[in-house]
Amino acid sequence: MVRIALHEGPEGCLHLPQGVVRFPLEILAPPGFRPEDPATWPQAAGRLELVDGRILYLPPCGDVQQIVGVGVIGLLYEWVRTHPEFVVGGNEAGIMFGADVRAADAAVWRRADTGPLTGGFRRTPPVLAVEVAGRDEGEEVLGLKARWYLQRGVDVVWVVLPATREVVVIDRQGELRCRRDGRLPGRASLPDLTVAVEDLFLQLDPAA
């Protein structure tokens, strides 16, 4: 893994060393870095996580990942409007798991578990975490991340695969691959949340 120091330029760009690199990149922690304080994190046009003491960088999402991520958030938001006992987070939702900080494409918490809003990272595991595959994170990588989540108290993870229009539902009992013409299974921990898989990918189709 490449380790680089992040230098802010006036254009806000991240300048990479010459040669081919593999994501995620490890970013050196800036002076005064405190993981619990988002204001002390490096400034970068992309996504950052803290895992095992390392700040990891991924570039911004491509167009496919963007629009599928919006489909996920839209469906979860419609659901939470009738289930106010839950709260939905998105936009690379920052979650602290002990000393680590991960970013989920979407997540759902029980409102009673979240505490007051602070402007910082959530401190409790969500019931549901959602990861959308993209250019730099495929099914295998996100499957490992899903199992990392489960080991730290997340109830269920959806790994959303735009390339095949499938969703892999992963929990402590195993994995279930839900295809385009199917539905995601309901769970007692997420009442009434049964999503048609194809609804997550509507924006991938040309306008009628």
**162 touches 201 (CB < 8 A):** yes
| 80 & 136 share domain | yes
pLDDT digits (tens, 9 = 90+) for 97-120: 999 999 999 999 999 999 899 999
Segment (H or E) for 64:
helix 63-81
> Which stretches in the chain have pLDDT values below 50?
1-13, 18
Of 20, 41, 60, the residue at which a domain comes to its end is 60
| 132 & 42 share domain | no
| 168 & 119 share domain | yes
* Domain residue limits at 119: 63-204
Long-range contacts of 42-46 (CB under 8 A, 24+ apart): 42/6, 43/6, 43/8, 43/12, 44/6, 44/14, 45/12, 45/13, 45/14, 46/14
In this prediction, residue 59 carries a pLDDT of 85
In this prediction, residue 3 carries a pLDDT of 47
Q: Is the pTM of this model over 0.75?
A: yes
In this prediction, residue 199 carries a pLDDT of 96
> Residue 137 is part of a domain; what is its CATH number?
3.90.1570.10
Tokens (6 digits) for 181: 């013409």
